[in-house]
Structure 1
Amino acid sequence: MIKPTIIKKNYPSGFKAEIILRPGFNRRFMGIIVDFGSSDDQPVPGLAHFLEHKLFAQESGDLSLEFEKLGSDVNAFTSFNETMYYASGVKNVAPTIDLLFDLVGKPYFTDENVKKEIPIIQQELAMYQDEPDWPLGDVLMRSVYGDSNLAIDVAGTKESIASVDKKKLQKAYDDNYLAGRMSFVACGDFSDNQVKTIFRQVGHLQETLIKPGRGPQAGKKVRNKRQPKEPLVLSGGSVPLFAVCLNLKNFKKVLDSQDLAQILLEIMLESKLGSASAWYAKMRRGQLLNQPLQINVTYTRQGNYAVIMGMSPDARKVISAIKEELAPKALFAASKLPAMREFFNLQKRVWLAQTVRSLNNIAGLAVELAEESLDDEDLFENVAKMQALNFDEYCNFCASLLDKAGFYSALIEVDDADEEKDENDEEED
């Protein structure tokens, strides 16, 4: 894989910038990422996400309209440990960069505009909560991490959102939107002269608009709750969903790269429980599953975990089967090693091919490298490590990553009335 040219610059304030050169692309991407997200310390849950919304408000109006006038698409997102603001367009690079720094560097909080935003974010949260799996994920995460921010939705709760005022917003901004916790990224086709001009422009803007320093490290490890012996049960649902959460150890104690640890664990869980596994075939034969499981591994400053979610008429049996399949003695059973080896070698090639293709998605590439700038990760080092990784090393890493993992589970029981209604609907069809 040919690594693109990446030019980096560190400013005395602590602010960082990087430009990723992708010759031949007409569109350019620019973004600013902040080392502060929903699970980090903040006056009330959801404040990082609230800030993401409110920074678009300026005394002159909604700043997104100014991006539109330049022909630039603008957006933002909040994750557990980051908030990112980004824009892309074909022309007007310098004015777009000016607007991005206005966006993150000129907060305008008033009692009126904060109060007006509360029902908008509450409505956004309600939209998520309407999803059938939301209550399941909520109760499961709280069973692992209690009432910590890691267990709460990125948007917060209805009550925490209602308690936001301009004083809390200003404090969260002042404590976290600091030069040492922010990075600028640009990706696209830029000439040598444009690169120099962008670095000069960014240097001036960050010095003018962003407060220097880093402040305290945001977020500490969350102590997980004692794991229950039985699954937590939610009643009254319309879909028989279940979910398992594996509370995992600190990835850094096993691998230098948390990204690579995440990738290896996802491959491992897919090989054991995914649609191509013998385990899944057995579940299908027993009519316990008829759709593949959703498997995701997540790492944050506050904790690392894997969530496995699915739908089954007998969720308790499936949960027990998952626990049995991931038990230390069964993890690398000799009878399953040949299939696991074949799956690992295949997924290795798939991941490497996907990584090569991702270089042509300038937005995705820029976001990935911006996040890495905060996490001390290196995509291209990980590619080399993955290419060199053999099956035995992979097994040893995964065994260490899963060692003493906590096992938490929850399920939704469907009311008999709902089941009868579904049967009647089927008969009518």
Structure 2
Amino acid sequence: MRELSTLKRTYSSGFEAQVVMRPQFAKQFIGIIVDFGGADPQKVAGGAHFLEHMLFNKPDGDIAHRFEEVGATTNAFTSENETMFYAEMTNHWRKVVPLLFELVGTTSFSEKGIAKEAHIIDQELSMYQDDILWQARHNLLQMMFPNSNLSTDLAGTHESIAAMSAKDLEEIYHAHYLANNMKFIACGGFSQNQAQEILREVGKLENKYISAKKYQLPTNQVSPSEDNHDMVITGDVDTSRVIVGIKLPDFEEFDPSKNLMQSIIESMLEEKLGTMSSWFKKAQQNALLVSPLDISVSYTRQGNFATIAGFAPNYQKLILAIKAQIKNFNGDKRLFTLQKKEYIAEMIRERDNISDLAIEAGEMMLEREDLDTVVRRFQNLSFSEFCDYYKKIISKSDIFTSTLASNSSNLDSSNDSLLNRGNDTREDNGDETK
């Protein structure tokens, strides 16, 4: 797979910029990503997300309208450890880039505007909490990461939203929106000359809008788990919803690349529990599952974790079966080979999606990693290395479960043949054939 064509620059303030050139595309994407998100320590829970909303409010109104006037659309998102503001367009980037810096680099926190935004965010939170599945996931994260913002919705709580003030927002902004804590990314139909012009313009704009005060990057702050590892709540649902959580250790214990470790764990869980696995076929035959499992792996400063979610007629049996399969350290060499091909194919597809590619590149900048390097390392992994990484990480992990049980669930906890065969796989565990 050909490497991406990029131009990078670091300015004297510590602000960094990168342009990923995909000249065969008409679409263009620009963004500013901040190394601060909803799970990071903050005076008022939900402050990072509230600030994201409020930065669109300017003295003359919503700045999004000014993006629309030049043919661009703008949006933002807040995740656990980052906040990103971005715009998409097919031309007029020279007008859009200054608007993006004005969006991120100026504030207008009126009490009237805060009250209006608080109402909107509170309604969003209520909508999420009305979904009983939200409570099941919340319970899981609370067990794994108590006393951490990971176990609080990114929007905060109804109380914290109502308590947000202009002073709170100013404190968050001036503490985190600093030059060496922010990155600029551009991606799409740019030529080499345009990329160089963008980097020159970014240098002028970051000097004008972004504070050069140095930011002390935070360290990992993983909280200890609760003693309780399993929680069940009942509800009026047809089929029980199971979420199995794996509290993973610090990836840097095993390799400097957190992205690579995330990909390995996600790939191995898919291999063990995904639709192509022999385990999945047996689970369907034994009526343990009604649909494929949803598998994801996340890493944050507050802790790394995987979630495995699915619907089950008998949730107790499904939990036992999943736990047994997680702790089965044997791999399937045939599926490993297929997954490597799928991984590369997915990376190729992502490079044809300008927005996804830009966001991924921006996140990689925060993590001091290179997308091409991660892809190449995964591609060169041997089967034995793949299994060894998984075994080392899972051996230092802890498993939790949160279940939304149907009122009519079958609570028979007796083992069946599938559970007894949880570690019965006999796969080739040798090196990958070159």
Contact 2:146–2:224 under 8 Å retained in 1: yes
Contact 2:21–2:192 under 8 Å retained in 1: no
Q: Distance in 2 between matches of 1:394 and 1:240?
A: 33
* Residue 378 of structure 2, aligned match among 371, 386, 400: 386
| Superposed CA offset, 1:381-401 (max 9, x none) | 112212211100100011112
CA gap 1:310/1:191 in 2 versus in 1, 3 angstroms:
closer
SS state at 1:270 partner: helix
SS state at 1:49 partner: helix
Matched, 1:362 2:354: yes
Contact 1:40–1:219 under 8 Å retained in 2: no
Q: Which amino acid aligns with 1:123?
A: Q
* Residue 329 of structure 2, aligned match among 308, 328, 331: 331
Contact 1:237–1:412 under 8 Å retained in 2: no
Contact 1:39–1:219 under 8 Å retained in 2: no
Q: Which amino acid aligns with 1:235?
A: T
Contact 2:6–2:18 under 8 Å retained in 1: yes
| Higher mean displacement: 390-399 or 407-416 | 407-416
1:8 is aligned to: 8
Q: Which amino acid aligns with 1:128?
A: Y
Instruction: Please report the TM-score for the alignment, with normalisation by the length of structure 1.
Output: 0.92
Q: Distance in 2 between matches of 1:193 and 1:317?
A: 61
Work out the percentage of aligned pairs sharing the same amino acid: 39
SS state at 1:214 partner: coil
Q: Distance in 2 between matches of 1:357 and 1:7?
A: 22
Q: Distance in 1 between matches of 2:208 and 2:264?
A: 43
| Superposed CA offset, 1:118-144 (max 9, x none) | 110011112222334211001111011
* Residue 408 of structure 1, aligned match among 386, 400, 414: 400
SS state at 1:71 partner: coil
* CA RMSD, 1 decimal: 1.5
2:269 is aligned to: 269
SS state at 2:402 partner: strand
Matched, 1:258 2:253: no
What's the CA shift for 1:416? Answer: 4.6
Contact 1:264–1:398 under 8 Å retained in 2: yes
Any gaps of 5 or more consecutive residues in structure 2? 410-434
Q: Which amino acid aligns with 1:135?
A: Q
| Superposed CA offset, 1:250-279 (max 9, x none) | 111112211111111111111111122222
Q: Distance in 2 between matches of 1:30 and 1:5?
A: 16
| Higher mean displacement: 271-280 or 218-227 | 218-227
Contact 1:5–1:21 under 8 Å retained in 2: yes
**Equivalent residue pairs, number:** 408
SS state at 2:37 partner: coil
1:63 is aligned to: 63
SS state at 1:167 partner: helix
What's the CA shift for 1:308? Answer: 0.7
What's the CA shift for 1:193? Answer: 3.4
2:72 is aligned to: 72
Q: Distance in 2 between matches of 1:318 and 1:191?
A: 53
Q: Select the structure that is richer in helix.
A: 1
CA gap 1:306/1:192 in 2 versus in 1, 3 angstroms:
closer
2:311 is aligned to: 311
What's the CA shift for 1:227? Answer: 4.2
| Superposed CA offset, 1:333-381 (max 9, x none) | xxxx4xx111111000000111122212111111111110000111111
| Superposed CA offset, 1:89-147 (max 9, x none) | 12211110011000000011111111111110011112222334211001111011113
Q: Which amino acid aligns with 1:118?
A: A
| Superposed CA offset, 1:146-169 (max 9, x none) | 131111111111121111111101
1:424 is aligned to: none
Q: Which amino acid aligns with 1:348?
A: K
Instruction: Please report the TM-score for the alignment, with normalisation by the length of structure 2.
Output: 0.91
Structure 1 consecutive aligned stretches of length 4 or more whose deviation exceeds 4 Å:
none
Q: Which amino acid aligns with 1:361?
A: N
Contact 1:264–1:394 under 8 Å retained in 2: yes
What's the CA shift for 1:219? Answer: 5.6
What's the CA shift for 1:282? Answer: 2.1
Matched, 1:222 2:222: yes
SS state at 1:377 partner: coil
Q: Distance in 1 between matches of 2:95 and 2:147?
A: 43
